[in-house]
A and B are shown apart, each in its own frame.
Chain A
């Protein structure tokens, strides 16, 4: 086997290079000895032994050369050259430590930032979902008919009955899973609040997840009316609450005060499709009413389905549309003529919100620009270095070094630098990833317009093999990028010119000099930096507009605590008294100035909504009434949040259960429903809280942004907790000191008063408001960081170029001064060079920015990319930076003494 022979030989050489050399040596000695012997005997005594030996040696030729040739043959030569180049490069770097450290740091930051952003992009957008064959999973949603000219949604959740109809009719999926995210009070030893999922028995098989301990749900455990109450728990909860005790199976925990038996523990890291779940229970155990034939319109469950083998996603999507019509026929809508349907898409396509996807990709682009600028800077540094080594290189070329050989040596230098930078970048990336993954999506992004399945989020960002591969690839690419051009240019064969004293640069025509690689690189840097600055300027303006929005309340010095009370634990009629007493105790806390309840915090992404109708107008067709947000508050809510009362009166403690039903409306509601009259005294019917008969509007209050900070307030209606008691509330405390400092005391008061009620989600209202702008702040901060880095790098680039050309033109400047040029003329000459670069760069950059910032449009709030203020500010900033960068070398040039320069 020639292949094996060759491989064996090559391996032998590579593994034992020393032995290879020795053998070569011995073989040649043997050859020489035979040759000498043969010559001596052939001469019949005319040649002495030593002469014969000498003759043999002469005939043999250059042994060193032969050895080198042989080494080259085996591939060892490659390593010889590489080792030589490496040693030379390291020696060169040791001689110029400042240059080396600067270059390595630039690269480490550039590559590290890229790696960190890449790992986020990889985790969020590309890494396969952590389920078996995730590319075969589809999300199936109901298609709603749409209202008021607005298109319907295509990913509406399912009722259990509709899903059952769908499941019976379909033939395209192997498994269909239903799940719904559900907050629960879990009591192991003490009550704690956990996110859970209510699922059917096919949930885990569909995802391809198996319990690491115990078993999945059985069919009969999801069969109403009274199934065995069993629960699966996450590995995290198992570790946290049970110390990973294998005997946990069969133990009982309380979910919302009902006992459930633990039957299994799920694999580490698995938190369901919601990405946050720690407990799983069946639909029949948690939602037995969902099986009631009346509940076809109780939509709650997301549907995930696994494609049958051989069925494509397109075929399935088409089949789902047909199935949707059958579901619609089986469950006719309450408003005739408004068709419902169904649609399906690959689960992978729904993994993150489109806004997050876009902002991540834009960030990846921005940070890539920063690396490009860093590369351009390093290429320039290498060019400058190469030109100061022009004579060394010319001498090497003259005495016969091949151009390829020299390019290889120079490339080795740049690759060594980029490899060092790549290594150091791992630390930067590690830190960056740490920062990224500490962004808790549950609190940070939940209030945005977030879609996506939650199983994919920033906590899944980590350093992994693909990250390292990316860093290595980036290091290699940058090394070649900033090394190749200088290497090719420096070795351009123009021996005669270079060997002469002085630089060839000076002899080139002015026009050519202007177009030199160095100038092109710096102009590119400036243009790229300008694009980044323009982008970050837009993001910052967008952020400042967001921060400038009045949310309709005063968030400072308000603490919020969520109370959960399970329905049925306390009688509905006793709730008003209970709440009133609780608030009185809280108000008595030192530092608390006001206390109130609300059911839904502002800026939470959306609250309760229902239909409203008007008792004094002709009734409209059922189902076509306008939608209003509906909120429960206690009377002091307005004064606690500083929401202004515009007209009428607020709720009082006298508005009680059984009394005349009264509501407050928001300004937006008044504008919409009573455009030209006062809403006070109007009779309305609200579809929730037992206000479906008649309630009277008694006051109008200012608009509060309940959804997101950048969406206009919807029409809202307020109902008093005392008139329509309901369990569960958010306590709002206005405080005179730092609200966070009162958290423990407030919690103690509540627990002392009602120990069975878990208190959770304790946060200041300011923190909730901060969450509302978190995504924009996050993007704007990173963009500003990258743009700042780009600006500094570009300024350094200009500085380097201008100082280099000052050094080269010292003699010319000397002559100018000798001939009578004033210092100001020299200053103008040098700064003019920097300014010219900046101007060309700015023009190119502005055009590029106009095109590039268009991708930001959907990420901006109330700012358009073509907005003229941003470019003006940005160009001014850049011009300032370039002038400062060229001012420093210009002052040095102006101090040139003609005598020194001409000597």
Chain B
């Protein structure tokens, strides 16, 4: 049984870019697949709002961290596939490091309680 919508967690601010980039390291994907991938891997706990997904993808394109190309999807329809670039991989490293630092800090605080 999948958790109902209300059980899903809102994404932590600023982590969406990181999640998308991480997803794209697997293989080039279209927007829907990216969202599905994140939800599935998080055990349906994280939900990706389309309202943030597409602007986030636009941002990645704008920074040069990803490129987009139209290609055929398994259903035969045209889909836009996003591919991570070398600088996107570098950026992913940066974001993971800083995210881990934040996580560590939060953990420290919470243990003190």
Contact = CB atoms under 8 A, between A and B. Distances in A.
A73 B59 contact: yes
Nearest to A65: B51
A27 B58 contact: no
Contacts of A62: 51
Given A2-B88, A73-B55, A27 B80 contact: yes
Interface string A586-617: 00000000000000000000000000000000
Interface residues of B, number: 29
Given A2-B86, A33-B77, A9 B67 contact: yes
Contact of B62 (A1, A10, A24, A27): A10
A330 B112 CA distance: 97
Contacts of B55: 66, 69-70, 72-73
Nearest to B90: A2
Given A2-B64, A61-B49, A30 B73 contact: yes
Contact of A3 (B51, B58, B64): B64
B61 interface: yes
Interface string A1-25: 1111111011000000000000110
Nearest to A71: B58
Interface in A39-73: 59-62, 65-66, 69-70, 72-73
Contact of A30 (B63, B64, B79): B79
B1 to A, nearest CB: 12
Interface of A is mostly: helix
Nearest to B78: A26
Contacts of B65: 2
B62 A66 contact: no
B85 A66 contact: no
Nearest to B51: A61
B30 interface: yes
Given A27-B31, A30-B32, A33-B77, A2 B58 contact: no
Given A60-B50, A69-B55, A5 B79 contact: no
B87 interface: yes
A3 B55 CA distance: 19
B54 interface: yes
Contacts of A35: 32
Given A9-B64, A30-B78, A73-B59, A2 B87 contact: yes
A31 B50 contact: yes
Interface in A106-124: none
Contact of B63 (A2, A26, A27, A70): A2
Contacts of B80: 23, 26-27, 30
A435 interface: no
A34 interface: yes
Question: Chain A: interface residue count, which band?
Answer: 20 to 34
Contacts of B50: 28, 31, 59-61, 66
Contacts of B77: 30, 33
Interface in B5-48: 30-32, 36
Contacts of B36: 38
Contacts of A61: 49-51
A35 to B, nearest CB: 7
Nearest to A30: B79
B85 to A, nearest CB: 6
Contact of A73 (B51, B58, B86): B58
A153 interface: no
A869 interface: no
Interface in B62-113: 62-65, 67-68, 70, 73, 75, 77-80, 85-88
A3 B64 CA distance: 6
B105 to A, nearest CB: 29
B30 A74 contact: no
Given A4-B64, A27-B80, A34 B32 contact: yes
A75 B49 CA distance: 22
Nearest to B31: A31
Contact of B54 (A3, A26, A66): A66
B30 A9 contact: no
B64 A74 contact: no
A33 B31 CA distance: 12
B51 A69 contact: yes
Contacts of A73: 55, 58-59, 62
Most buried by B among A4, A5, A10, A61: A5
7 contacts: A2-B86, A3-B64, A5-B87, A9-B61, A23-B80, A24-B54, A30-B31
